[in-house]
Amino acid sequence: MAQVHAKPKGRVLIIAGSDSGGGAGIQADIKTVTALGGYAMTAITAITVQNTLGVTGVHAAPTEIVKAQIEAVVGDLGADVWKLGMLGSADHVRTVLDAWYAVGDGAPVVLDPVMIAKGGASLLAGDAVEVIRDQLLPIAAIVTPNAPEAEALTGVEVRDLDGQINAAEILVEQLGAFSALVKGGHVEGEIIRDVLLTREGYRVFEGPRIETRATHGTGCTLASAIAAHMAQGSVIEPAVEKAREYLLEAIRHAPGLGQGHQPLGHGWPCKLA
């Protein structure tokens, strides 16, 4: 499986749920890809009712509509990278998987296995975890779980750096992902470490924990930034490095909106232009 197409055009197909508050999900994905110079297309898997205080409702899109969205945009516009976020149910996971095999043309998949919203609401059915682990991970160019998601996918504890490394090894060497970025935001400590495992080996990114309420959509944003860079020709490790830099600045440029987990400042590069 190729990591990038021969002549990338920056086209990212985002398959995820909508966040009415604009901080995560499809909205964060579009903002991120656009800010980084890519072109964002979408297939919406669910409509959520949410704001910075939490999720109060989820309405899943029919699988045939998800499939039709994918076919419509890929058939006309094409896609250099597929970015997968909130899929919701096992049927939705299978629908996306079938569509990738049918019309994906080998496009790299950036898989953000969204399971729980920042406020604690469940965004993935229990039976979908097994389908993601057994069928979706083997086609992923990179999977980007946080610690709880890595635990759910691998069955091992992810409470420290050793746990992150262990989970990354299982995701790549046993479950078949081409690479894995096991994030450390949920791991206690003043230093946050993200562990990247590729076929070339490990890299540990680290930096001081930023004390902020602007944490809504960080996972969506990071995965979409990786996808945007890959869609424009970057291979995985440089894409992750640049995506992390973008995310940290988006946190620092957060607009301070909302009473709960606040959104990021996705448009910060435009302010520097």
**Given 17, 21, 88, 219, the catalytic residue:** 219
Give the Cα separation of 207 and 184 in Å (integer): 10
What domains appear along the chain, each with residue ranges and CATH number? 11-262 (3.40.1190.20)
* 140 Rama sector, left if φ>0, alpha if ψ -120 to 50, beta otherwise: beta
Q: Which two tokens stand for residue 111?
A: 């898989």
pLDDT at residue 120, rounded to an integer = 67
The number of angstroms, rounded, from the C-alpha of 227 to the middle of its chain's C-alpha atoms is: 8
pLDDT at residue 3, rounded to an integer = 43
Q: Which residues contact 191 (CB under 8 A, 6 or more apart)?
A: 206, 207, 208, 209
pLDDT at residue 119, rounded to an integer = 64
The whole model's pTM is what? 0.95
**Given 83, 217, 221, 265, the catalytic residue:** 217
Q: Which pLDDT tens digit goes with each residue over 91-145?
A: 999 999 999 999 999 999 999 998 876 666 677 777 889 999 999 999 999 999 9
Q: Please tell me the number of Cα atoms within 13 Å of 208 on its side-chain side.
A: 4
pLDDT at residue 4, rounded to an integer = 44
pLDDT at residue 226, rounded to an integer = 98
- Nearest CA-CA partner of 52 in 20, 6, 26: 20
Give the Cα separation of 224 and 106 in Å (integer): 18
Q: Which two tokens stand for residue 183?
A: 């994030």
**Given 85, 183, 198, 221, the catalytic residue:** 183
Task: Give long-range contacts, CB 8 A cutoff, 24+ apart: 183-186.
Answer: 183/144, 183/145, 183/146, 183/147, 183/219, 183/222, 184/147, 185/146, 185/147, 185/215, 185/218, 186/146, 186/147, 186/148, 186/158
Task: Give long-range contacts, CB 8 A cutoff, 24+ apart: 188-195.
Answer: 188/159, 193/161, 193/164, 194/164, 194/240, 194/244, 195/161, 195/164, 195/165, 195/168
Intervals of the chain under pLDDT 70: 1-6, 117-121, 273
- 219 counts as catalytic: yes
pLDDT at residue 2, rounded to an integer = 39
**Given 154, 215, 221, 265, the catalytic residue:** 215
- 183 counts as catalytic: yes
- 218 counts as catalytic: yes
**Given 48, 163, 220, 221, the catalytic residue:** 220
pLDDT at residue 121, rounded to an integer = 65
